[in-house]
């Protein structure tokens, strides 16, 4: 009975909404009208007799039941895509769908060239791009919702193999003063300045917090920016 009620399109719709964090963004991604998408999910919840998504002014997030449903839905969709690839592969050329996660900052400059390069090298492979903050992308990797990701990270993630691509320089931006001639600033000095930094969910903020902790100093955070 369950298999009759839930179709693959329901799984795709639900996964797209969770990945996007909102009905509006998901509707634009999968090219389905938002009212129709909302109606499909409401019908799915009614048939299953559970609430899968928690709605708020900031978007949507899965409930505890929704998280379990999401994990299984992703696994089913991935398996179906693998089966399609096996059936369609006649000459050994790679094909199928690859879930790629990127931080929003990286996606701004790298997503376009990466998709273009993939189309050239692997024309039968479709990239499914998911963007968000590094902690969200990391959680999607850990739950096998994504196949590969590109994020800012300096600490290992359990159960995930990784390869460093580049190092990022951090620059201090402050009002210009005549005495500002140093090309670097110590962690101790940085802690004395009024700082505007990303929210705690950001990898750069996490790295700085750990650096301040190692140095035994308390930073002077005056504001957080969550873009």
pTM of the model: 0.51
CATH code where residue 61 lies: 1.10.10.10
Looking up tokens 């179906």, which residue turns up?
Answer: 80
The total domain count for the chain is 3
Q: What is the pLDDT of residues 64-123, one digit of tens each?
A: 999 999 988 888 888 777 776 666 665 567 777 888 998 877 888 888 888 888 888 888
Cα 53 → chain centroid: 18
Same-domain pairing of 173 and 162: no
Taking a C-beta distance cutoff of 8 angstroms, is the pair 100, 115 a contact?
A: no
Taking a C-beta distance cutoff of 8 angstroms, is the pair 215, 191 a contact?
A: yes
Strand-pair partners of 126: 97
Q: Which two tokens stand for residue 75?
A: 């696994």
Cα 84 → chain centroid: 25
59 located within any domain: yes
Same-domain pairing of 126 and 77: no
Taking a C-beta distance cutoff of 8 angstroms, is the pair 41, 60 a contact?
A: no
Same-domain pairing of 10 and 81: yes
Q: Which two tokens stand for residue 201?
A: 């969910």
- Percent of the chain as helix, strand, coil, to the nearest 5: 50, 15, 35
Q: How far apart are CA 96 and CA 200, in angstroms?
A: 36
Looking up tokens 């505007």, which residue turns up?
Answer: 196
Domain boundary among 57, 88, 119: 88
217 located within any domain: yes
5 located within any domain: yes
By residue range, what is the domain housing residue 127? 98-167
14 located within any domain: yes
Supply φ then ψ for residue 147, to 5 degrees.
-90, -35
pLDDT at 172: 83
Same-domain pairing of 122 and 181: no
- The answer, yes or no, to whether residue 63 has pLDDT greater than 90, is yes
Q: What is the mean pLDDT of residues 138-162?
A: 78
Same-domain pairing of 111 and 178: no
Q: What is the pLDDT of residues 156-183, one digit of tens each?
A: 667 778 887 777 778 888 777 656 666 7
Q: What residues contact residue 62 under an 8 Å CB cut-off, 6+ apart? A: 18, 52, 53, 54, 69, 70
Q: What is the mean pLDDT of residues 190-196?
A: 90
93 located within any domain: no
Domain boundary among 28, 62, 88: 88
Same-domain pairing of 122 and 175: no
Taking a C-beta distance cutoff of 8 angstroms, is the pair 161, 92 a contact?
A: no
Same-domain pairing of 2 and 83: yes
Cα 220 → chain centroid: 29
Domain boundary among 167, 194, 218: 167
Q: What is the mean pLDDT of the chain?
A: 82
Q: What angle do CA 45, 26, 73 make, to 5 degrees?
A: 50
């Amino acid at each position: 009975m369950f298999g009759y009620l839930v179709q693959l399109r329901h799984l795709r719709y639900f996964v797209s909404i969770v990945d996007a964090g909102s009905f509006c963004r998901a509707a634009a991604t999968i090219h389905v009208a938002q009212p129709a998408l909302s109606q499909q999910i409401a019908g799915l919840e009614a048939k299953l007799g559970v609430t899968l998504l928690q709605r708020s002014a900031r978007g949507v997030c899965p409930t505890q039941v929704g998280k379990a449903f999401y994990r299984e839905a992703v696994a089913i969709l991935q398996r179906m895509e693998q089966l399609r690839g096996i059936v369609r592969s006649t000459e050994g050329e790679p094909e199928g769908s690859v879930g790629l996660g990127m931080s929003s900052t990286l996606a701004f400059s790298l997503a376009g060239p990466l998709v273009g390069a993939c189309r050239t090298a692997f024309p039968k492979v479709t990239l499914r791009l998911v963007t968000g903050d590094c902690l969200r992308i990391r959680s999607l990797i850990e739950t096998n919702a994504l196949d590969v990701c590109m994020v800012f990270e300096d600490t290992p993630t359990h159960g995930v193999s990784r390869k460093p691509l580049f190092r990022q320089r951090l620059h201090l931006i402050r009002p210009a003063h005549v005495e500002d001639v140093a090309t670097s600033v110590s962690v101790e000095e940085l802690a004395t300045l009024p700082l505007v930094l990303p929210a705690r969910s950001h990898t750069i903020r996490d790295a700085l917090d750990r650096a301040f902790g190692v140095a035994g100093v308390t930073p002077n955070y005056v504001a957080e920016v969550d873009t």
